[in-house]
Structure 1
């Protein structure tokens, strides 16, 4: 690109998306070419690019307000900022939470820590993982976005050291909504029961309230 404004074919590239503070938020692959460039108002050591191409996968329209919210930075200390969202928007929120989880190093809490999960809004699968992530790692925190990922997180490096305790408040909400769901293969699944089993096997003693 040096000294030219001609189109430059990037082919398959990775786009790092940052929030308004310059902190990495997520990454997306794209097939694109540079159609124009100019000095950036963000600093003399940067340039602004205009790209022609498309993201893989594209950001769906329903997820864009979620991205706009996260561009201002992660949620504050108050948990449940996702609670008013419908299931697919909760899924978009969970996607960003999961991708941010791999960026900063996380210090595990010592064994014996007592966690508390606010279960009033656990009415779907994304809500389950969002509430569990916040119980362990605070507002905007992640502790897996699927059963296998939760099992991995119980092994350490995600804010948790076994053994520990978890007080699950309003657990009846999750039991009512997640005891009969469809697994990816289309078979019925007691997701609530499976999660309890995984947590127990990982050294987290759960008390339902």
Structure 2
């Protein structure tokens, strides 16, 4: 059964999802409930032969980002996102990893030795590998229930031709219960079927055969359910989450934050950063965002984005002061990071340097 996202009782619940044509922005329709948004993305499988671990074995969920670094340095590293280990094959020395390939994955035909790291530590190396792509499957349905169709959609349904029912490219814009924009997903929708909806007169259930850009995996479902109600009212609501879920939380913080207006505060502000829970990279940016822009606030999701936020339009006006409490926690967990190529660097020191360049004076408490 396809899981259902249920709308709440507020304004955003009644019109939580807006299907919008991408080129000119006209609205195909509005609804409160969508089926098919939550589903597992296509995952590739890597079988790493001659696997030699660096230290502890690689088991279960491995990391948000695992880099495969060619030992001969003849090509750039490539990224496997949301990587999981299925363990080592019996009777072989091969480790099996699954994950979502970033862009195209390794160069065609490349099989040479690679080393793997998760951005913090080296995981191990292999002498060669094979990559198995997931089987091609028909695009699953996305069903918009209780849809109030716009005039253009009514016209397309009345025509009923193949061309009229191909909506080309569209955005599924998603709002929270207060009606504030939260995030969106890119679709290439083709209308498969429509029927009167049990949700009310003049409403339809619209079934789309689509190629959904970035489906929402199951582990992120509780995070989305929390944010669809509205932003958190107190800071640190993410503190009890694991790294995988913190990453999902940060993604929504980023997407929502880039859609909101952030009036820049006056210069000379004093910001308080609670560093007790900064034990991984997502938590670093979540804590920074809340220090500057309050609960659920955004102020960069990587070093480059942080530098952009310091230039203005994200709540900050230089100069200002950031009082960082319990910085030792971040130093313990983030001072030994690795670039995609595997070069070591100190993420905390780099962030402090970027803050200084943005005229954010940092003190410690």
1:62 and 2:62 are equivalent in the alignment: no
State how far apart, in whole Å, the 2-side matches of 1:186 and 1:31 are.
Answer: 37
TM-score (norm 1): 0.91
CA deviation after TM superposition for structure 1 residue 41, in Å: 4.5
CA deviation after TM superposition for structure 1 residue 42, in Å: 8.1
| Contact residue 194 and residue 204 of structure 2 kept, 8 A | no
Normalized per residue, the structure richer in strand is: 2
1:181 and 2:333 are equivalent in the alignment: no
Q: 1:2 maps to what in 2?
A: 154
Q: 1:165 maps to what in 2?
A: 321
- Kindly tell me: are residues 189 and 86 of structure 1, through their superposed partners in 2, closer, same or farther at Cα, counting changes over 3 Å? same
Report how many aligned residue pairs link the two structures: 207
Q: 1:71 maps to what in 2?
A: 228
1:205 counterpart SS class:
strand
- Kindly tell me: are residues 47 and 122 of structure 1, through their superposed partners in 2, closer, same or farther at Cα, counting changes over 3 Å? same
1:85 counterpart SS class:
coil
CA deviation after TM superposition for structure 1 residue 39, in Å: 5.9
TM-score (norm 2): 0.53
Any gaps of 5 or more consecutive residues in structure 2?
Answer: 1-152
CA deviation after TM superposition for structure 1 residue 17, in Å: 1.3
State how far apart, in whole Å, the 2-side matches of 1:54 and 1:21 are.
Answer: 29
- 1:61-87 CA distance string (max 9 Å, x none): 1111111111111101x1001111111
Any gaps of 5 or more consecutive residues in structure 1?
Answer: none
- Kindly tell me: are residues 37 and 142 of structure 1, through their superposed partners in 2, closer, same or farther at Cα, counting changes over 3 Å? farther
Name which of structure 1's ranges 102-111 and 7-16 shifts more when overlaid on structure 2. Answer: 7-16
CA deviation after TM superposition for structure 1 residue 187, in Å: 1.8
1:22 and 2:174 are equivalent in the alignment: no
Q: 1:205 maps to what in 2?
A: 361
CA deviation after TM superposition for structure 1 residue 145, in Å: 0.4
State how far apart, in whole Å, the 2-side matches of 1:138 and 1:86 are.
Answer: 21
1:104 and 2:260 are equivalent in the alignment: yes
State how far apart, in whole Å, the 2-side matches of 1:37 and 1:201 are.
Answer: 58
Normalized per residue, the structure richer in helix is: 1
Equivalent in 268, 271, 282 of residue 126 of structure 1: 282
Computing the radius of gyration from Cα coordinates, the structure with the larger value is 2
Q: 1:145 maps to what in 2?
A: 301
- 1:137-196 CA distance string (max 9 Å, x none): 000000010100100111111111111000000110000000001223322220000000
Moved >3 Å (runs of 4+): 3-7, 37-44
